[in-house]
Amino acid sequence: MPSPTAVLFRKECRVALRSTATWCVFAACASLVGLFFAFALREAAGGPATLPELFCTPLALAAPLPAAFFTMGLFARERHNGTLETLLTAPVTDAQTVLAKFSAACLLSLVALVLCLPVFHAYLRFAAPPPPWDARSFAAGCGAVAAATVLWTALGTFFSLLCRHESAAGAATLIAGLGLSLPVSGTVELPVESALEPWSLVAFARGVADTRPIFAALSGAAFFLFFSVRVLESRRWLPSAAA
């Protein structure tokens, strides 16, 4: 018999994949990555930047978009529709509920990023001559972006519990995600850029492997999920807050 977490996880994924908006977000994310990748290639012509770095930078900037979209309605929509109290009375623990909804949103956000990879493949296929690139650096850069996506999804889950309306939760996640992605991706010039260099997500794509960004992202995700469970527990004991 499947666990309640697995049942709720499948339900969230099934509902999302049946929505036209989900596929529009997939397409929008791939389009944005392709557009920014083309701009990065033009700006870096003749420069020292590596090809994995040029692709992972727009991928890191696009990651908050699907995370914000897939998390904004996890709990905020339940509150707005008045179904959160029904969810709280179901035979599922608060931790199972948060984990199931977070896992579904995280999987869909990662799928959105995976669907951006054909942009890189298409460039390699049609570029003449094909530029050299390191597959290990590319995989490391994509892994770092995936870890950041886990963090943005956990943050979005937390905001969805705090906000009454899903648009507010989505906007808060997107602003926070972009605000943190811009400096660590090197897109924004900051006076403390040298201090942020070891924390750069796309530094993995340059062949500079530092475990601190990965540890920080996964620890931050665990932090927000822990407090998401605590917030949901408070809703259970304060039914009026769930209305």
What was the pLDDT predicted at 135?
81
What was the pLDDT predicted at 111?
96
% of the chain residues with pLDDT over 90: 36
For residues 243 and 232, what is the distance between their CA atoms, to the nearest angstrom?
A: 13
Structure tokens at 148: 């950041």
Q: pLDDT by residue (tens digit) across 131-186? A: 677 788 888 888 888 999 999 999 999 999 888 888 889 999 999 988 888 776 65
For residues 193 and 199, what is the distance between their CA atoms, to the nearest angstrom?
A: 10
The whole model's pTM is what? 0.86
Residue 125 phi/psi, 5-degree rounding, is: -75, -40
For residues 67 and 56, what is the distance between their CA atoms, to the nearest angstrom?
A: 17
For residues 51 and 132, what is the distance between their CA atoms, to the nearest angstrom?
A: 8
Where do we find the tokens 């003449």?
Answer: 128
Residue 129 phi/psi, 5-degree rounding, is: -80, 160
**Sign of the dihedral defined by the CA atoms of residues 72, 172, 198, 217, in that order:** negative
